[in-house]
Amino acid sequence: KCKIQNNNNATRFEKSLDKEIQEYFWIKNDLLKLGLKEELYLDYQPIYSIDTNRLVGVEALIRWNHGEKGIIPPARFIPIAEKIGMIHPIGEWVLLKACSQNKEWQELGYDPIYISVNVSVLQLEKPDFTKRIKKILEKSMLKPQYLQLEITETFFTQNYELIQDTIKELGKLGIKIAIDDFGTGYSSLGQLCELNINNIKIDRMFIDGVDGNINKSKIVKGIISLAESLNITLTAEGVEREEELKFLNTNRCTFVQGYLFSKPVEAYKIEELLKRNGKNKICLC
Ligand code: C2E
Ligand code: MG
Ligand code: MG
Ligand code: MG
């Protein structure tokens, strides 16, 4: 009996592995075929200042509208794009698109906001990354202070030496640097200081239920006071409930982002928010 059960488990395991491998291969093939651009697009998620109730920035989030399979989220194809080197053309496309979009909003006369773009560690590791960023800023005519690059905290474990110079160079250009998914990796106080980070994005797992969980609230308070002492602004990711926002307001978190305010949306919806920016209260606090 036991043996049969084991066999069943093994078969189930093989089947799911099979599925994963198949998925890997079709995503890989279709990424390589991707006449870039046509099937890729960006959504934008609003980032608000708690203090001023204003929209201060948006995060650009890539989507792939696959002809047959529908919309594929980044978590499914970015890791594969990284493996096969497609992250470079894709990443470059994202940066140019995002910067140009932000410039377009400014040209329409709205108060300027910053655009926050996720970059892969593999992009940062390319020796000419800073040069490419400069080119993108020139092409889009966006001023560097309106671009923020989000780097996931995991980079601190790989090639730290190489990447730290690039980050410093980018900082000197006037670009903002944010640490994404903060709390899930291994950065140290010293490193944060050394790199002149501008913004820390607290990972959603700490924000989820922070108002009712002693441990989470201690961690978040700790991160906030750390950031304050280093003169770094803070963004809470994944704010979904009013109570979480109240907690973040009471504890002096700077910026907030999450489904409570808006899901990632298309560019024209951001324009609607820009039109009435500052006129609506984002919260009850
Ligand atoms: P991330 O940079 O941490 O982005 C935040 C993710 O959380 C987004 O998922 C966003 O839709 C989701 N989110 C925002 N607010 C909430 C909330 O209140 N609740 C919940 N449950 N989720 C929320 P998305 O768009 O699926 O992106 C997933 C990840 O894919 C991103 O995580 C980022 O690491 C990566 N990614 C997205 N776009 C790009 C890109 O252009 N380049 C690179 N290299 N990575 C990207
Ligand atoms: Mg991000
Ligand atoms: Mg990210
Ligand atoms: Mg994040």
Report CA 111 to chain centroid distance, whole Å. 22
Distance CA 42, CA 180 (A): 18
Q: Give 147's contacts (C-beta < 8 A, 6+ positions apart).
A: 98, 99, 102, 114, 115, 117, 133, 137, 175, 176
> Pocket of ligand 1, candidates 88, 118, 259: which has the most ligand atoms within 8 Å of its Cβ, to mutate?
118
| Residue located nearest, by CA, to atom 9 of ligand 1 | 61
Q: What is the dihedral of CA 131, 135, 141, 145, to 10 degrees?
A: -20
Atom of ligand 1 nearest to the CA of 94: 41
79 lines ligand 1 (CB under 6 A): no
Q: Do 32 and 89 touch, CB atoms closer than 8 A?
A: no
Q: Looking at residue 179, what is its pLDDT?
A: 93
What does the pLDDT look like over 25-84, one tens digit per residue? 888 888 887 765 589 999 999 999 999 999 999 999 999 998 888 999 999 999 999 999
Q: Looking at residue 284, what is its pLDDT?
A: 44
Q: How many Å is the Cα radius of gyration of the chain?
A: 20
- Ligand 2 centroid to Cα of residue 14, in Å, is 33
**Secondary structure (3-state) at 60:** strand
Partner residues linked to 157 by β-bridges: none
- Global ipTM: 0.98
Q: Do 139 and 190 touch, CB atoms closer than 8 A?
A: no
What does the pLDDT look like over 190-211, one tens digit per residue? 778 888 899 999 999 999 999 9
Q: Looking at residue 285, what is its pLDDT?
A: 43
The answer to pTM > 0.90 is yes
Closest-approaching ligand to the CA atom of 91: 1
Q: Can you list the residues of the chain whose pLDDT is less than 70?
A: 1-7, 13, 35-37, 155-157, 282-285
Q: Give 150's contacts (C-beta < 8 A, 6+ positions apart).
A: 59, 116, 117, 118, 119, 178, 179, 180, 201
The secondary structure element, H or E, covering residue 47 is strand 40-49
- Ligand 4 centroid to Cα of residue 129, in Å, is 22
Residue 64: closest CA among 40, 43, 83, 86: 40
Q: Looking at residue 123, what is its pLDDT?
A: 94
Atom of ligand 1 nearest to the CA of 91: 42
Q: Looking at residue 105, what is its pLDDT?
A: 98
Q: Looking at residue 48, what is its pLDDT?
A: 97
| Residue located nearest, by CA, to atom 41 of ligand 1 | 62
Distance CA 42, CA 59 (A): 10
Q: Do 99 and 115 touch, CB atoms closer than 8 A?
A: yes
- Ligand 2 centroid to Cα of residue 281, in Å, is 24
Q: Looking at residue 92, what is its pLDDT?
A: 94
Q: Looking at residue 279, what is its pLDDT?
A: 81
- Ligand 1 centroid to Cα of residue 3, in Å, is 43
Q: Looking at residue 194, what is its pLDDT?
A: 83
